Amino acid sequence: METNILIVLSVVAAVAFLVVAMVFTRKRSTDRLRLRFGPEYERTVEAAGGRHKAQAELQQRQKRVRSFAIKSLTPEEREHYMPLWAEVQTQFVDDPKTAVIGADQLLAEVMTHRGYPAGDFEQRSADLSVDHPVVVQNYRTAHDIALRDANGEASTEDLRQAMLGYRALFRDLVGQPVADEAIVEEPVEDGVPPAAGSTNAEPAPTETVPAAEVIIAEPAPAGQPVASEKTANVPEPVST
């Protein structure tokens, strides 16, 4: 009798141990995927309609990308692509629509150079999400805007946001930060107002910023005042 009880208890303990091990293993796998994919994890869960299907999808992506011969760009290759990106950004000033198309095409070229295979947008964005899970969200946003623009539904501000999204992915792909430049629709006006307290009636001479260097400006951090191009700093009266 006691032997039977011991056997039953042993079986129950073994089953309980297996259940705990399975739960722990599944949770560990979930945590790894969530950490690896970041925002892409929750996006895939929503798209797949459940965590189990989403995790299987993400694991399949990892397996697929591991089969690619992904390589980093050499310094010489970076030097080749950086000026090309600068040209695309500069083009935005005069022709935003063409610049967005050019940015998308340049990114496709860089992806191919890095070792990502050609494919439709959904497949490429899925492949990119394995090693670039954050900026691939910007890439998707930019692509959506480009599609809307093809139907005549995107504003110039929308196109500027698309360029910001493409630029974020370009930075990640080339592995080298790009100097922050501001995108505007018109050249910056000449002249800077005199500094506060100055007795000069005329504005201090300043070097004009070429329109070609003024490309895309990201929003200023919250709480940081943004100076207007047409607002002058009025000097405070000097007490006597």
Confidence of residue 184 (pLDDT cuts 50, 70, 90): very low
Q: What is the pLDDT of residues 118-172, one digit of tens each?
A: 888 999 999 999 999 999 999 999 999 999 999 999 999 999 999 999 999 999 9
Residues of the chain with pLDDT > 90: what percent?
A: 51
Confidence of residue 8 (pLDDT cuts 50, 70, 90): low
Q: Is the pLDDT of residue 69 over 50?
A: yes
Of the residues 149, 174, 199, the one at which a domain ends: 174
Q: Is 207 inside a domain boundary?
A: no
For the chain, how many structural domains are there in total? 2
Question: Domain range spanning residue 8?
Answer: 2-66
Same domain flag for 99 and 119: yes
Partnered with residue 183 across adjacent β-strands are 215
Whole-number pLDDT of residue 35: 83
Q: What is this structure's pTM?
A: 0.64
Same domain flag for 127 and 162: yes
Same domain flag for 60 and 79: no
Are 99 and 163 spatial neighbours (Cβ–Cβ below 8 Å)? yes
Pairwise CA distance, residues 159 & 98, whole Å:
10
Q: What is the pLDDT of residues 28-57, one digit of tens each?
A: 667 788 888 888 899 999 988 888 999 999
Long-range Cβ pairs for the range 134-138 (8 Å, 24+): 134/38, 134/39, 135/168, 135/169, 135/171, 135/172, 136/40, 136/169, 137/39, 137/40, 137/43, 138/164, 138/165, 138/166, 138/168, 138/169
Same domain flag for 86 and 53: no
Q: What is the mean pLDDT of residues 216-221?
A: 51
Q: Is 223 inside a domain boundary?
A: no
Same domain flag for 88 and 163: yes
Whole-number pLDDT of residue 194: 41
Q: What are φ and ψ of residue 184, in 5° steps?
A: -130, 165
Same domain flag for 11 and 57: yes
Of the residues 153, 174, 195, the one at which a domain ends: 174
Q: What is the mean pLDDT of residues 189-217?
A: 43
Residues of the chain with pLDDT > 70: what percent?
A: 61
Same domain flag for 59 and 83: no
Q: Is 141 inside a domain boundary?
A: yes
Pairwise CA distance, residues 111 & 83, whole Å:
17
Q: Is 110 inside a domain boundary?
A: yes
Whole-number pLDDT of residue 54: 92
Same domain flag for 25 and 81: no
Pairwise CA distance, residues 34 & 59, whole Å:
11
